[in-house]
Amino acid sequence: MEHVEGKTAFITGGARGIGLGIGRAFAGAGVKLAIADIDNDSLASAKSELAKLTAVETFNLDVRDREAYARVADETEARLGPVSILCNNAGVAAATRFTYEFWDWMLGINLNGVINGIQTFMPRMLERGGEGHIVNTASGAGLVAEGSSVMYSTSKFAVVGMSEGLRRELEPKQIGVTVLCPGPVGTNIVGNSRITQPAARDAEEAKTWAAVTDQVTAVLARGVPPDEVGEMVLVAVKENRLYIHTDRVMEKYIIARTKALLDALPPAR
């Protein structure tokens, strides 16, 4: 989608972190914005900033709520016109324990939230025809299960696989697909995730989670600024790139995993 000016983009998790970085990049390119998030204060702040550059509508949306998603989609297109760029960016990352409650929480947002965005907007794009683009935020942990929780890697591996398959499916229909696989980015994703995270069982677990939050946030603070990631996403949409890497942190792990996969193949016949 070489020409994005005047198009409408819908960005989940768009009031903070990477989502806000994407919004800033798109706004600077003349894209109209629908920003969805669960934090009303951040939504108000994002709208105040971005409305100086482009038309902006904001929506409080839990991406797990399919009925609310459909309603917000209708409101978005009534106010801003057809959504041509969908950024499924909302996600969580936090300390977890192995319970159904945590599986449902992590997969509900990181995977089902992406599915809900696709199922809400993709049929509309296909029915209208013309160019469109879908950006799914995964993670470097969606390419290699290194240094991340099992639940987080599970959710992000699924998003990568879905994006690769969806790209092949939609390419003949003029809809591009990009999967964003960031390394460390300077966001507060772990702290923000605790807003919806299942409650700690006791004070000791809460203390452990707080320590993990502080440690991971300190690491992320040294990562790529969200605004730089936003510019990467804008370029990827314009050039119809499949993958976005924000750094080379995962390089040696990707090489090692690829080698292990190839080494495991049976001998050629």
Contact 65, 41 (CB under 8 A): no
End-to-end CA distance of the chain: 43
Average pLDDT in the chain: 96
193, 258 Cβ separation under 8 angstroms:
no
Residue 137 forms part of a structural domain: yes
3 within domain boundaries: no
Give the neighbor-by-neighbor strand order of the sheet with 32-37: 56-60, 32-37, 8-12, 83-88, 132-137, 175-181, 243-245
Our count of domains for the chain comes to 1
**Position 205 in a domain:** yes
pLDDT per residue over 169-223, tens digit each?
999 999 999 999 999 999 999 989 988 999 999 999 899 889 988 888 898 999 9
Residue type, 130: G
Residue 166 placed within a domain: yes
Indicate whether 158 belongs to any domain: yes
Q: Could you give the residue numbers annotated as active site?
A: 152
Return all residues near 193 (Cβ < 8 A) that are at least 6 apart.
92, 93, 94
List, for residues 56-100, the tens digit of each pLDDT value.
999 999 999 999 999 999 999 999 999 999 999 999 998 889 999
Owning domain of residue 158: 8-263
Domain presence at residue 2: no
Q: What angle do CA 195, 199, 205 make, to 5 degrees?
A: 115
Q: What is the DSSP string of 168-201?
A: HHHGGGTEEEEEEE--SBS--HHHHHTTTSPPPS
pLDDT of residue 124: 98
What is the CATH classification number for the domain harbouring 99? 3.40.50.720
The residue among 226, 215, 233, 141 whose CA lies nearest residue 186 is 226
Residue 268 placed within a domain: no
Contacts of 50 (CB under 8 A, 6+ apart): 23, 24, 27, 33, 35, 56
Interatomic CA distance for residues 169 and 242, integer angstroms: 13
CA distance 222 to 187: 10
- Is residue 58 helix, strand or coil? strand
Q: Which amino acid is at 22?
A: I
Is residue 1, in this structure, part of any structural domain at all?
no
Q: Is the pLDDT of residue 154 over 90?
A: yes
Q: Record the tokens describing residue 101, joined without a space.
A: 């409650």
Residue 226 has pLDDT above 90, yes or no: yes
- 56: exposed, middle or buried (C-beta count within 10 Å: 0-12, 13-18, 19+)? buried
